Structure 1
Amino acid sequence: MATKIITSEDLSTFKTELLQDIKNLLTDHAKIGFKKHYRTSEVLKLLQISSTTLKTLKVNGTLPYSKIGGTCFYKAEDIQHMLEDNRVD
């Protein structure tokens, strides 16, 4: 097995990339975090779930929603309640 040497430049590059990734994540959550209502795409990103999982949550009544035209909206409060109600200790 070959040995690979990591230089301080490698570590510096890694640090810069890692910090940028963290900034991007925080920015994404900050954009979503202060809204009262979310669209489907925002809920998928916020909860990191598939569209199939979200559809299941809607169909079985776990996550209430409102539909205006063809767009579904979810209350931030309902999302929070769903997470709290389904918490596993």
Structure 2
Amino acid sequence: MAIEVVTKDDLEAFRQTLLNDIRSLLANNKPEAKEWLRCADVRKLLKVSTGTIQNLRITGKLKSQKIGGMHFYKLTDIQNMLSGKNN
């Protein structure tokens, strides 16, 4: 049975290789922007409460599609509302 000695230089080279591999994985794995968002996603994006989203929906400032009891919001509608564009 052979004894192998691991030096600090070996560990540093391994660390650099590992970091480079992680960076390349993260660079290739960018999240895609969703076309439709749920209420929770819109709340996080706008940093508002559920009641505020409901008020925006009721007043017609933010359109939604209700599917199976859940409201979905189009990302472009949210961006247009924020920029002040009217459809």
TM band (smaller chain): 0.5 to 0.7
Which protein is bigger by CA-based radius of gyration?
Answer: 2
2:75 corresponding residue in structure 1: 76
Aligned pair count reads 56
Where does structure 2 lack aligned partners over 5 or more consecutive residues? 1-29
Partners of 1:36 and 1:71 lie apart in 2 by 16
What amino acid maps onto 1:69 in structure 2? G
Normalising by structure 1, report the TM-score: 0.58
Where does structure 1 lack aligned partners over 5 or more consecutive residues? 1-29
Measured on the aligned residues, the alpha-carbon RMSD in Å equals 1.7
Higher helix share: 1
Which ranges of 4 or more aligned residues in structure 1 deviate by more than 3 Å? none
1:24 corresponding residue in structure 2: none
1:85 corresponding residue in structure 2: 84
Give the superposition deviation at 1:61.
Answer: 0.1
Give the superposition deviation at 1:79.
Answer: 0.3
